[in-house]
Amino acid sequence: MACSVPSIASGTFCKLSSPVASLHPSSPLFSNNLSFPKSFTSRSSSLTSRSRPLSKRSFLVKASSEDLPLVGNKAPDFEAEAVFDQEFIKVKLSDYIGKKYVILFFYPLDFTFVCPTEITAFSDRYAEFEKLNTEILGVSVDSVFSHLAWVQTDRKSGGLGDLNYPLISDVTKSISKSFGVLIPDQGIALRGLFIIDKEGVIQHSTINNLAIGRSVDETMRTLQALQYVQDNPDEVCPAGWKPGEKSMKPDPKLSKEYFSAI
């Protein structure tokens, strides 16, 4: 199958001649090994550690469970057909590992009401996410033909117009199911949003019910906070933190510096 690569994400999008949507349980994105952060050590170990200095540790918990996805787990991999730049392309989530952060969001259906407000809002802010080395991917259970028709519909008529990121087709509903957002008796997805880091780990998730739209501003703020604590593993971000504001040291004594300043 021949592939061509659009400029916005080299090595990630490939033109397709036939629809595909499949999951790869054997992919390295799946993690079945149970591991615990150092903060979950036994009480006796905690008591013993008081007699010696504590080593630095990451406060980004890495969980593990058979019931994926959970924040802290590797994201379930998938490969599916999508629409971008009014063409059918292939998107594989694991292609972003080591390259980009990913905002992966699900929405119920094309040609609905709340959905176009979210989709176009993310597209209009795409350049800001791009500066943070982040790709955006939208997913619904609609076909690529429905996606294409919606993109070709003017915004003033309830359409999307051209978008700056792909819309993925999950007609088999396998992607929605693997991310835990599928409503089985309706066959559509809740408004789930996942922030996946460059290691392919889910670091944030939100799930809204069908009638409630999401905030691009809050998604951006959460992404910036995630990138900050990954760059500064000995710090944490308090409520509502934004770039340039004071962070906090996760230590009983050092944290007082933050609290005394607010």
Which positions are catalytic?
115
Rounded to 5, what percent of the chain is helix, strand, coil?
25, 20, 55
Cis before 19 (ω within 30): no
Cβ neighbors of 180 (< 8 A, separation 6 or more) are: 67, 68, 69, 192, 207
d(CA 87, CA 238): 43
As separate numbers, helices (DSSP H) first and strands (DSSP E) second, the chain gives 7, 11
d(CA 45, CA 31): 27
Strands (E), the chain: 13-15, 21-23, 78-84, 87-92, 101-106, 134-140, 167-169, 182-183, 188-189, 191-196, 202-208
